[in-house]
Amino acid sequence: MRYTLAYPVYSLLHNNPPPTPLLPNLQDLSCYDSILPFIDLVLVPSVKCLTIGSDDGVEPDLFLSITKYGPGLQELRLVDPLELDEGDEAELLPMLLSLTQLTTLKWNDLIPDDALLHLSRLPTLKNLTFCPSSDTYRSLLLNDTSAFSSLSKLVLLVLKAPLLHHTTSFLSAIHPRLLVHLEIDTDALIGRNSFTDPTNAFTAMLKSISRFHTLNELLLEFNPLVADLSGEMLSPLLGLKNLRRFHITGFNLRLALADFEAMAKAWPKLQVLHFHPRESSPDLPMDVLVPFATNCPSLLALAMPIRGPTPDMQQVERPCAPHPSLKTLVSACLSRKIENDPVAFADSLYKIFPHVKLQPQPPIPPFPMWAQRRPPGPAGSVVEAINARLETRRRES
């Protein structure tokens, strides 16, 4: 059951406190702005999930209330910065150790070094979102094999240009034991001019990611940082043999057929592959799909800026692999050039992925705003015509 209490209700209850907790069995609580001064009215030991946000930041007294009920909290989301001076940090940050059942922390801002050190000692923490703010992580965490011992999902927010180096520092320091999901999101307001050498900074970060051989999912949202994405830049990731989902956004793709062949061979367990390039990125020939049909038998969904078939594709008489499994090709990411001959596109696509169907968007979130960076895909009527042709080919086979 969901409750929504207006500010006047909180004010009334604050002036006339009830003798017993207002909602003694409450498990999920979200508090924002003007309601925060009254949080003690509803923050009870039964709360498992707590979300807090304030335009003025999270004040020390509020942080004290959070840790007061720490032993019961399993999920904590701090939407806005934590406003602590040095004295507050010394007193309050050690209280993070009281969150003994915390499994998920989403802290959408910079985390002080001391706070991160305390969080690294929570044995239950599995899901962490934060913005790296220091290059001292390596000295704090390196060789500490017990740090973040249960961490399986990590989301790093790069809010300022220098913080990309801090991200690399953090990834280089933690023990790559259990991490299966890594997501790195760069703020769209950061420009390439913020870096002396953005390509080297990005490549260094990818090398730090290559340590995590347990990764199943890797999502990189790097809007304006690096203009071109080359096969050489991606090469450190080819050692991630367990990768099942790869999602990258915001580049001009400068990838050759050999680069896609290397990816397909390196990631045989791949299930979802999304390339969401910038508007200026060139379209890719249909040939780049063939290596994935041949080497990735579990591939289910794919998004790439594919244009029409090459003459060589039209000479192929049968599917390229015996059991290609791809079911979804994201139509919004396709080149509008396929509108020139949708039947030829469908016939060539059938030869590569005979079971595929064009869909407007990926079946698995997140679905970033990459549509703003590329023209819209082919018209709905063209997509329908291609799907109809694919179905005809399947019935004829």
Give how many domains the chain has, as a whole number: 3
Model confidence at 153, pLDDT cuts 50, 70, 90, reads very high
Tens of pLDDT, residue by residue over 344-368, are 899 989 989 999 999 876 555 544 4
Q: Are residues 259 and 158 in the same domain?
A: no
Q: What is the mean pLDDT of the chain?
A: 79
Same domain, 1 and 95: yes
Asked whether residue 98 falls in the same domain as residue 119, the answer is no
Tell me, yes or no, whether 48 lies in a domain. yes
Instruction: Give ∠ CA 195-199-201 in degrees, rounded to 5.
Output: 65
Q: What residue numbers bound the domain in which 167 lies?
A: 114-203+220-226
What is the band of 324 on the pLDDT scale with cuts at 50, 70, 90? low
Q: Could you give the CA distance from residue 61 to residue 342 in angstroms, rounded to a whole number?
A: 63
Task: Output 214 or 114, whichever has higher pLDDT.
Answer: 214
pLDDT at res. 339: 82
Domain boundary among 57, 80, 102: 102
Cβ burial of 48 (10 Å; 0-12, 13-18, 19+) is middle
**Banded model confidence at residue 219, pLDDT cuts 50, 70, 90:** very high
The pLDDT assigned to 37 comes to: 67
Same domain, 339 and 283: yes
CATH number at residue 267: 3.80.10
Predicted local confidence at residue 147, as pLDDT: 86
Q: Are residues 394 and 249 in the same domain?
A: yes
Q: Which residue has the higher pLDDT, 176 or 121?
A: 121
Which of 25-29, 34-38, 188-192, 377-381 is most confident? 25-29
Mean pLDDT, to the nearest integer, of 44-66? 76
Q: Is residue 108 part of a domain?
A: no
Phi and psi of 9, rounded to 5°?
-65, -45
My answer on whether 121 and 93 are in the same domain is no
Least confidently predicted of 14-18, 78-82, 178-182, 294-298: 14-18
What H or E segment, with its residue span, contains residue 131? Answer: strand 127-131
Residues 275 and 369 in one domain: yes
Pair of tokens at residue 102: 């915390």
75 in a structural domain:
yes
Please state, for a pLDDT cut of 90, what percent of the chain lies above it: 25
- 196 versus 212: the higher-pLDDT residue is 212
For residue 210, being part of any structural domain is answered with no
Token digits of residue 375: 């023209």
Compute the distance between CA of residue 318 and CA of residue 366 in angstroms, rounded to an integer. 34
With respect to residue 107, please indicate whether it lies within any of the assigned structural domains.
no
154, 128 Cβ separation under 8 angstroms: yes
pTM of the predicted model over 0.75? yes
Higher pLDDT, 2 or 64: 64
- Alpha-helical runs (H) found in the chain: 7-15, 60-68, 86-92, 113-119, 137-141, 163-173, 198-209, 231-234, 257-266, 290-295, 311-314, 342-352, 380-396
Same domain? 66 vs 163: no
With a cut of 80, say whether residue 275 has pLDDT above it.
yes
291 with 377, same domain: the answer is yes
Residue scoring higher pLDDT (375 or 305):
305
Domain annotation covers residue 211: no
pLDDT recorded at residue 111: 79
Residues 63 and 149 in one domain: no
Which residue, of 76, 102, 128, is where some domain finishes?
102
Do 142 and 170 form a contact (C-beta atoms < 8 A)?
no
Q: Does the residue 208 lie in any domain?
A: no
Instruction: Please tell me whether residues 232 and 355 are part of one structural domain.
Output: yes
| CA nearest neighbour of 83 among 106, 104, 54 | 54
219 within 8 A of 366, measured Cβ to Cβ = yes
pLDDT of 284 above 50: yes
Q: Are residues 384 and 302 in the same domain?
A: yes
pLDDT band at 370 (very low <50, low <70, confident <90, very high): very low
Residue 256 predicted with pLDDT over 80: yes
End residue of a domain, out of 102, 124, 143: 102
Structure token digits, residue 379: 């018209």
Considering the chain, what percentage of its residues have pLDDT values greater than 70?
73
Answer whether residue 57 shows pLDDT above 80.
Answer: no
Tell me, yes or no, whether 156 lies in a domain: yes
pLDDT digits (tens, 9 = 90+) for 64-114: 777 776 678 899 988 877 666 666 666 667 778 888 899 999 988 777 777
